[in-house]
Amino acid sequence: MRLIQAMEVFAVTVFVSLLFGILFAVLFVAERAQRRVRSLEQEALLPLDDTGIVQVTPTEVAGAMNARGTRI
């Protein structure tokens, strides 16, 4: 009897793992299908980019200020 219960738990565990895998794949494809130039994670890591190329987003341009603290 215990062997049957253990096999049921194993089957449920495998089933839930497969559901999580399918969910991950669907969400990954949906994220990649969006028409954004970059994802939020990539924009968050831009300060760590050491390629020497500075990329400015439109929101940074809109909120730009000069050395005195006034808007440009």
Residue-wise pLDDT tens digits, 29-69 = 988 887 766 777 777 777 766 666 666 666 555 556 655 66
Specify if 67 maps to a domain: no
How far apart are alpha carbons 12 and 35 in whole angstroms?
37
Residue-wise pLDDT tens digits, 6-32 = 778 889 999 999 999 999 999 999 888
Range of the domain at 34: 2-62
Q: How many domains does the chain have?
A: 1
Specify if 53 maps to a domain: yes
Q: Are 24 and 18 in contact (CB under 8 A)?
A: no
Q: For residues 21-49, b (16+ Cβ closer than 10 Å) or e, as one string?
A: eeeeeeeeeeeeeeeeeeeeeeeeeeeee
Specify if 49 maps to a domain: yes
